[in-house]
Structure 1
Amino acid sequence: MLTSNRQRALRLIVLFGMVSLMADVTYEGARSILGPYLALLGASGAIVGMISGIGELISYGLRPLYGYLTDRLRRPWLLTIPGYAMSVLAVPLLALARAWPVAAALTLIERLGKAVRTPARDTMLSYAASEIGPGKGFGLHEALDQIGAVGGPLVMALILQLSGRYDLAFGILLIPALLTLGILIAARLLYPTPQHLEASPADPGKAPPKGTADPRFRQYLVFVALSVAGLVPFQLLSFHLKQVRIVADPVIPALFAAAMLVDAAAGLLFGALYDRFGLRVLVTIPAFSAVAAPLVFSGYPPLLLIGVMLWGAVIGGQETIMRAAIPSLVVREERGTAYGLFNGVYGLAWFLGSAAMGALYDLSLGGVIAFAIGMELIALSVFLRMPR
């Protein structure tokens, strides 16, 4: 049986999972139709690309700042609730936009909200996850999160199929937005001081956690950066599949949805393995990514499917055990800063890796595969030299 504190920790993780589920229905649903909506409002392709790029820069680039503020303020709810409110309330307001600059501003507000809340939320999750196992805790959260990430675009597709109205589609997202805030406020009332759920340092292991300036944490960030930069972005893969036409167009989003389902399942599996075997499980992330690269570009549908499933498993590992590892590396007093740095490095590496592979794709498909495998092999070497 679960102890009282473990039960409370599990409930908080489930509450955060439900918050993420509803929030993902809201903004992932919106993001799935934002491009054509901006086009209807008169935006050019260059403007759409610029909005997307600036949005991700805001979302990831500001997370180190808000991670630092999480540690300084010692009140993670003070950032988590406003961050979620900014994100989920900006989305249904898109229904009222009559010009692309208004829609662009709301989109950037949504991305800013994600930057504000993510380090503080992950810090609170780490407190609760320490009671049931960091891997299991983050794995459960990721599984619930991915249900929303898959469900949101499906809801938008259904509404557009039935009505053809973008304003109605965005307006309906007010329902999951309000549910997000309702569950979040309930969690705040039930758990005003979630740090008390962590009675002792999480997963002390052979080497005790230290500060963010510790070389072991810095080496971990290098490993994260290399591993993330070497993962083929699905946008590039979907572009490639459209160009070579080895599968029909409707199959491409179906492959992505399947990868997200694998993501959810893999997160749970990786989480359980992490709690049993510790940091060594992280070696599977660059290994799977290196194998996935040649498979997804093989031109052979069965190998493509295997590669996409491995790609989804890598995303599941990145979203769970890469986050779950941080409490074993960094002391609680600097955990917000650590999550902010982790997210900032993750976003920068994703951008640089995607840009490099996009440029290489125009020159040589083999160059893309070589780059991806090379980055993952270097990531493996960095990880294997990291002190345990």
Structure 2
Amino acid sequence: MNYSETAHDDERGATQAVQESGEESAPLLGRRGNTENGGTSSALKFVLMCGFNSFVADWVYEGSRSILGPYLLLLGADALAISVISGFGEFLGYALRLISGRSADRTGLYWPITIAGYILQMAAVPLLSLARSWQVAGLLIILERVGKATRSPPLKAMLSHAAKSMGFGWAFGIHEAMDQIGALFGPLFVALLLKVKHENYQFTFAMLAAPAAVMLLGVAVARLVYPHPENLESQSPGQDTDKLPRVFWIYLLASSLVGAGFADFPVMAYKFRRTGDLSDEFVPVVYAISMAVAGTGSLAFGRLFDRFGLNLLALLTLVAAAYAPLVFLGRGHVLGIIGSCFWGLGTGVHESIIPAAVAPMVGPGRRASAYGLFTAIYGVSWFLGSTVIGLLFNRWMPAVVIFSVGLQLAAIPLIVYADRLISQSQTSTGAEEEPFLEPSDI
């Protein structure tokens, strides 16, 4: 099935046929919308502006996060305090997306909520330079996560308007690739500052105020140039509804299984160190290679997603699952590097294709809520899965592989089924789209 068709008449006819049958359908996945309100070139400019802002934002907060552990230790925090701060911050970073997403959809204040989140996030990082106790630093670390939770759903919703005309996979792929570049260079920048200033953490955090200011200026410019990004998308009749379609819930379940089965890189790095597969100095290099694979994959597979849809995601999920046996059962640096590359490929898929597929499933007026719900459940699933992997790691290594690969393989039939539902919607065969939960339960 070609996901990049532009036959607007066919789309309108399909929508009308489903409406006449009295059944509710998800928006057609992968079709590029009418560009009469902005055009593909205008949409691309908006995506690039958002991508630049994400590049600088990741430079700031990923750079800071690379040294938070040692900084908290320097301020007197113990391992328990560091774990609680990190865990609680990540929990809020996902859970609060439910609130920010719904708030954006209900009020229509997509830009103000996004800007407020960015301000909180970009202010919290440089203020760490003024912290004189681990408690104050911990509060700022948590506030940075709250800022990301605040701006993420409305930002994705605005990005989806531009993605409609240029291809959802391509738009989200470009955005994620630029995001990953910032995540790569931020820690390197911080490491350079620490080396030059002889591990002066206060100076390093203070210097991050400069790129943070650039980032906020970039957001202000984007707001001035594109005050109404929703105009980049032409809405089809019957596209908005108070209900999230059935395919969304099936896809959410599948994505949660994929997330739960995916290990965090620190666990992999710990394994490399314990077995001696990679030296301490080489682990950051392997991580950088993985991020490069993730960024490249975001671009390439995002483009292919617009043509092949969720079937591509099913295939890539199968391929990326190979990271687990290579990393956790393999021995030697060669298998460690190859496994990390597969892990990086999976990371790129998670950050580009998985969120890109959400947008066309849901009408424009519900996308921020959908993204808030989706990322919250996806993040909690990843956290719970990582916890299980950590418990299994210390007991029986093959169990880690069975758990990781098993969950990802279990997701594939659900992804294929979701693609079939979308195909039925596009061909007006009358697939039911009743959600598993009522809107009042969301």
Please, what TM-score do these two structures have when normalized by structure 1?
0.96
Which sits farther off after the overlay, 169-178 or 242-251? 242-251
- The aligned amino acid for 1:193 is H
Q: Work out which of the two has the higher radius of gyration on C-alpha atoms and give 1 or 2.
A: 2
**Residue 344 of structure 1 pairs with residue 379 of structure 2:** no
CA deviation profile, 1:34-79 (whole Å, cap 9, x unmatched): 1101111000011011100000001001111111111101120021
1:256 corresponds to which of 287, 290, 314:
287
The answer as to whether partners of 2:98 and 2:369 remain within 8 angstroms in 1 is: yes
Partner of 1:188: 223
**Residue 174 of structure 1 pairs with residue 206 of structure 2:** no
**Residue 311 of structure 1 pairs with residue 346 of structure 2:** no
Give the alignment's Cα RMSD to 1 decimal: 1.7
2:188 corresponds to which of 154, 164, 179:
154
Partner of 1:270: 301
| CA–CA distance in structure 2, aligned partners of residues 288 and 55 of structure 1 | 32
| CA–CA distance in structure 2, aligned partners of residues 14 and 384 of structure 1 | 31
Which sits farther off after the overlay, 92-101 or 277-286? 277-286
Change (3 A) 1:279 1:176: same
Length, aligned pairs only: 383
The answer as to whether partners of 1:210 and 1:329 remain within 8 angstroms in 2 is: no
CA deviation profile, 1:92-140 (whole Å, cap 9, x unmatched): 0111111111101111110000010000000000001111111110011
The answer as to whether partners of 2:172 and 2:302 remain within 8 angstroms in 1 is: yes
| CA–CA distance in structure 2, aligned partners of residues 140 and 384 of structure 1 | 25
| CA–CA distance in structure 2, aligned partners of residues 316 and 322 of structure 1 | 9
TM alignment of 1:181-220, pairs within 5 A: 181-200=216-235, 212-220=243-251
Partner of 1:229: 260
| CA–CA distance in structure 1, aligned partners of residues 117 and 65 of structure 2 | 18
Partner of 1:8: 42
- How far residue 200 of structure 1 moved from its aligned partner, in angstroms, is 3.6
Change (3 A) 1:232 1:78: same
| CA–CA distance in structure 1, aligned partners of residues 158 and 146 of structure 2 | 20
- The aligned amino acid for 2:83 is G
Secondary structure of the corresponding residue to residue 115 of structure 1: helix
**Residue 334 of structure 1 pairs with residue 366 of structure 2:** yes
Partner of 1:87: 121
Unaligned runs of 5+ in 1: none
**Residue 244 of structure 1 pairs with residue 275 of structure 2:** yes
| CA–CA distance in structure 2, aligned partners of residues 199 and 373 of structure 1 | 40
| CA–CA distance in structure 2, aligned partners of residues 289 and 365 of structure 1 | 19
- How far residue 18 of structure 1 moved from its aligned partner, in angstroms, is 0.8
Secondary structure of the corresponding residue to residue 338 of structure 1: helix
The answer as to whether partners of 2:240 and 2:365 remain within 8 angstroms in 1 is: no
CA deviation profile, 1:294-347 (whole Å, cap 9, x unmatched): 011211322221111111111111111111111221111111111001110111
- How far residue 286 of structure 1 moved from its aligned partner, in angstroms, is 2.1
Percentage of identical aligned residues: 40
1:280 corresponds to which of 305, 311, 314:
311
